Amino acid sequence: MKKSLIFLMAGAVAVAGLTGCSKDSEGLTKVTTYAVIELDGASLVKVNKGEAYVEPGFTATMGSEDVSSSVTVSGSVNTAKPGFYTLTYSVVNPDGFAASASRTVMVVDPDNFAGAYLAAAKYGTRSYSGLKITITDNGNGTYAISDLSGGFYDQGRYPGYPYDFKYEETLKLDGNTVTLAGPMGDGSAWYWGEPLDCVNGTYDAATGTISYLAAFGGDPDDAISVTLTK
């Protein structure tokens, strides 16, 4: 009798479980097919200032079905203004599951010191590349750089952290020599506890390359090696 009661209780639990599963799954197909978006061309596209941006294209599939016509593209590119622009491609399957992909468009000004750059930054044994840096003309003979450390911390070592790891600074260009426009300590140096100096800075206009040492306390032996390229 005790054994029969256990079996009856187990059966009731199983039925209740099946009923709950059916209720929770109401409105959903038993098997969902997820959409996949593939970008044509590179995920980073460079365009010169003033030139038209030409979309390389994309393909979206859901199983064997081509659903590219259902993809929505958000974001825009202003080729009149150098900088980085993000385009996001999204599509949702019938069960409400979304798929997305993104592309970065880098608008480059090949004729000016100011503009968008990709940085390679190395400090000690750590190195990062493909970091996004912008230099803006202040209109008074100086330039604002978005991060003197070349994105080493903000984009490289601690990406996604909710803190400002950028060291915003002001530069000046004298011929092909790049230096700070003012004394050290103008940037947001709360993380390091000491300012960074721009040491041995050079600009090669022919290649659009900037190289310098982001030196802690002005010490070239304790510095982040930064190379910016258009």
Q: Which CATH class is domain 115-229?
A: mainly beta
Position 48 pLDDT exceeds 90: yes
Domain ranges of the chain: 35-108, 115-229
Nearest residue to 168 (alpha-carbon basis) of 159, 182, 176: 182
Ramachandran area for residue 55 (φ above 0: left; ψ -120 to 50: alpha; else beta): beta
pLDDT by residue (tens digit) across 162-186? Answer: 888 889 999 999 999 999 998 776 5
Q: Please give the angle made by the CA atoms of 145, 147 and 152, to the nearest 5 degrees.
A: 150
**pTM of the full predicted structure?**
0.81
Q: Which CATH class is domain 35-108?
A: mainly beta
pLDDT per residue over 8-41, tens digit each? 334 443 434 433 444 444 555 568 899 999 999 9
